[in-house]
Chains A and B, each alone.
Chain A
Amino acid sequence: NAGVTQTPKFQVLKTGQSMTLQCAQDMNHNSMYWYRQDPGMGLRLIYYSASEGTTDKGEVPNGYNVSRLNKREFSLRLESAAPSQTSVYFCASSEALPALYGYTFGSGTRLTVV
């Protein structure tokens, strides 16, 4: 099925460890996004990529880096994980006009940092 695929689905890290969250979409969308969602909260934008070859900071970029590897893939890296980064991470993609066409979200990565 077409959509946004995130891996892994679950991960437990120790403080200070690093990891990369992977995201791939097969809808030929130009734009991709990484959000985090803390318990009982809305989604907060970490980084986004308006098009292949560009990335920009969102609302809460500290502690994260991203790579837009190609049009399909957009990865999120935690260089030195902290307990405050315990959250559910969602990747999304859209046409260049999400206000009109909407986002498609992945099913999320549940990350726990101990």
Chain B
Amino acid sequence: LAKTTQPISMDSYEGQEVNITCSHNNIATNDYITWYQQFPSQGPRFIIQGYKTKVTNEVASLFIPADRKSSTLSLPRVSLSDTAVYYCLVGDLTNTGFQKLVFGTGTRLLVSP
């Protein structure tokens, strides 16, 4: 499983765009990149996944450069409710059809008024 590295914490203010970058230098060809969000006292929530280029949904955008050695989760115009821990995971889509993902310590985002 590819190891991921992301900042321990980030601070922002309401209305700003937040970009959290994750490094995964040894990502393999079959690996997908997945991001989760965890609010206090809740389980993590799947928010976005991608393989290459850009993916956008109603919650966030995910930017993946051509070499795929890093990825950036972009949260547009954050609000106080975006205060959470964000996890970057890399998972291998193998022919065996099963994969267990490994969570690191994540990035703790604090949004202030």
Contact = CB atoms under 8 A, between A and B. Distances in A.
B102 interface: yes
**Helix, strand, loop or mixed for chain B's interface?**
loop
Size category of the A interface is 20 to 34
A1 B52 CA distance: 33
Interface string B70-98: 00000000000000000101111100011
B106 A42 contact: yes
A90 B43 contact: yes
A41 B103 CA distance: 10
Interface string B33-51: 0101000011111100100
Size category of the B interface is 20 to 34
**Helix, strand, loop or mixed for chain A's interface?**
mixed
A108 B32 CA distance: 26
A74 interface: no
26 contacts: A35-B103, A40-B105, A42-B104, A42-B105, A42-B106, A44-B103, A96-B97, A97-B93, A97-B97, A97-B98, A97-B99, A98-B34, A98-B100, A98-B101, A99-B31, A99-B34, A99-B99, A100-B32, A100-B49, A100-B91, A102-B46, A103-B36, A103-B44, A103-B101, A105-B44, A106-B43
Interface of B: 31-32, 34, 36, 41-46, 49, 87, 89-93, 97-106
Interface of A: 4, 31, 33, 35, 40-45, 48, 50-51, 58-59, 90, 92, 96-100, 102-108
